[in-house]
Structures are given as C-alpha cells and as structure tokens.
Amino acid sequence: MSLPARIFFTTLDVLEIYIPTISFALMFVVFIIEIAYRYFIVPLTWTMEFSLMAFIWTTLFGACWALRDDSHVVFGLVYDSVGPKAQRIIRIAGNGLMFIAFCIALYPSWRFVAFMGFKKADVMQISMSLVFSPYIAFLVLTIGRTGHSLWDDVRSLVAGKESRV
C-alpha cells in the first residue's frame, strides 16, 4: 500500500475508532468523578459540560464507524424480501437520497459551526466551534462512504454484476 493510502486509512481509523473510544472512556471516567464528588465532597460544575461534549464526539464519530462497518440500524422488511437486483436499486435510491441531503447540508453546517466560534462553553470556556466540529467530519465521511457505495452499486447495476449485499 502506498504512503498516501496508509496515511488516509490511518486517519480514518483515528477518526472512526480511536477518537470515539477515547471520548467515551473519558466521558465515563468524568461521569464517575461527578458522582463521587457530588455525594462525598462538593458538586463539580465542569463535569456535566464535559460529558455532553464527549457524548457529541462519541456519537458522531461512532456513527461514522457504524456506516463503515455496515452495522447501522436498517429496516429490512421489504429489502430482505426482494431479489439482489431490487436490493441494489433500493440501496441506490437510499444512498442517493442520503448523499444529496448530506451534500446540501454541508455548507450551511460549515457556516453554523464557524459562526459558533464566538460562543464559549459556560464553565470550561471551550469554543463551541470545536465542540460542534465533529459534525462536519461526520458529514464529510458520510458523503464519502455513501458516495463510494452509490458508485459501486450503480457500476454493478450497469454492468449487470452481483454486488455486495
């Protein structure tokens, strides 16, 4: 594998595996600290804010992993009852709609995240642009993954080949 490809796939691993894992672990530790301090010492103010921020990072980057691993929630009643060609057409329609919607949402989301740079978190004084920035990464990664899946399905439909199911 070439160096640019290794860098690309390592970056994907960091964004989709390591960041959500670390943010979840930190969220859990801070939650335990919050409980211990609340009942034994004095309530802390920063722990709730940190937990909410870590939750945002965990869910958005974790959703990217779910899309990568095809382990997201699906409603397969109709999909499972039709043949491979119809399943491919359903995937093309679903991925096409998602691709278009996320492409449309990218620029306004970018503008909103940039706009939120003026606001800081109440206790921790972290820029809200940093807090919400994983949403932009989520949009870009989802656009890339759905675009790749859409490309594979359209190509296999045109060629008449079986694709992944």
Indicate whether 78 and 68 sit together in one domain.
Answer: no
Give alpha helix (H) positions in 14-83. 19-40, 46-69, 77-81
Identity of residue 18: Y
Say how many C-beta atoms besides its own lie within 10 A of residue 138's C-beta. Answer: 21
CB neighbourhood size of 82 (10 A): 12
Q: Which of 107, 141, 143, 146 is nearest to 14 (CA)?
A: 141
Residues 66 and 82 in one domain: no
Q: Specify whether 88 is located in the same domain as 62.
A: no
The verdict on 158 and 78 lying in the same domain is yes
Give the C-alpha separation, 30 to 41, whole Å. 15
Q: Which domain holds residue 100?
A: 74-165
If one counts every other C-beta atom within 10 angstroms of the C-beta of residue 65, the result is: 19
pLDDT of residue 64: 83
pLDDT digits (tens, 9 = 90+) for 65-91: 888 777 666 777 787 788 888 888 888
Taking the C-alpha atoms of residue 155 and residue 88, their distance in angstroms, rounded to an integer, is 11
Residues in the chain, pLDDT under 70: 71-73, 161-165
Domain count, the chain: 2
Helices and strands per DSSP (H, E), number in the chain: 6, 0
